[in-house]
A and B are shown apart, each in its own frame.
Chain A
């Protein structure tokens, strides 16, 4: 499809496990964003890429969170040693350039048991 694609849609992991969440942005979109959305709240910024460069990671809550976009297209958000507080929906968004509207994927719902 032409939209932002995220996989998996749902992920259940045990506390302490590592997880990897994938985002396929819209083809040609330079900017890519990751957000975390806790239940009943608005999304909160995690990190931002422009092509392959990670220009802002100020929203990552701890050093257990790591994101990459090695070829300037697909991005992966990795969470190591997951904790219960990591349970949330992780949203990926892309835009043609910064200043353009962001297009969101359907998110990955992560549940940590």
Chain B
């Protein structure tokens, strides 16, 4: 079954610094990959979705992610962190033929002023 692993349960950056949140998928190439963001006491909001159409995916709020087959990775980046980016970020992959999602353990992003 497909799975994703997020390295680093907590990441702390200074405001204005580069954000890099790591996600690796299991060996077989998935048809889709997702990044979601969760603010406190809220549900998950879709940041971006990878399909096979493009390896570099741009999402909302200035985030983007690059699919790298050679590294089985789909890391999330943002050039300049903002205080409002502080939240929990989840990488996810369809568990089977496109139905339920399997989520990584999440990475809590903290942004220091």
The interface of chain A, by Cβ under 8 A from chain B, is 4, 6, 31, 33, 35, 40-45, 48, 55-56, 59, 91, 93, 98-99, 101-107, 109
Are the C-beta atoms of B99 and A104 separated by less than 8 Å?
A: no
Q: Are B99 and A101 in contact (CB under 8 A)?
A: no
Residues of A with C-beta under 8 A to B45: 104
A48 touching B103 in the complex, CB below 8 Å, given contacts A91-B43, A104-B45: no
Task: Give the interface centre of B34, B43, B95 by most chain A CB atoms within 10 Å.
Answer: B43
User: A residues within 8 A CB of B44?
Assistant: 43, 91, 93, 104
Distance in angstroms from B52 CB to nearest chain A CB is 13
Chain B residues within 8 Å of chain A by Cβ, number: 25
Contact status of A41 and B98, CB under 8 A, knowing A4-B43, A91-B44, A106-B42: no
B105 to chain A, nearest CB (A): 5
Nearest A residue to B32 via CB reads A99
Determine the distance from Cα of A45 to Cα of B99 in the docked complex, in whole angstroms: 10
Interchain nearest-CB distance for B34 vs A (Å): 7
What distance in Å separates the Cβ of A67 from its nearest Cβ neighbour in chain B?
A: 13
Selected from A44, A98, A107, the residue in CB contact (under 8 A) with B99 is A98
Contacts of B106 on A, CB cut-off 8 Å? 40-42
Instruction: For residue A99, give the distance in angstroms from its CB to the closest CB of chain B.
Output: 4
Pairs A–B under 8 Å by Cβ, sample size 29: A4-B43, A31-B99, A33-B99, A35-B101, A40-B106, A41-B105, A41-B106, A42-B90, A42-B92, A42-B104, A42-B106, A43-B101, A43-B103, A45-B102, A48-B99, A55-B99, A56-B99, A56-B100, A59-B100, A91-B43, A91-B44, A98-B98, A101-B49, A104-B44, A105-B43, A106-B42, A107-B42, A107-B43, A109-B41
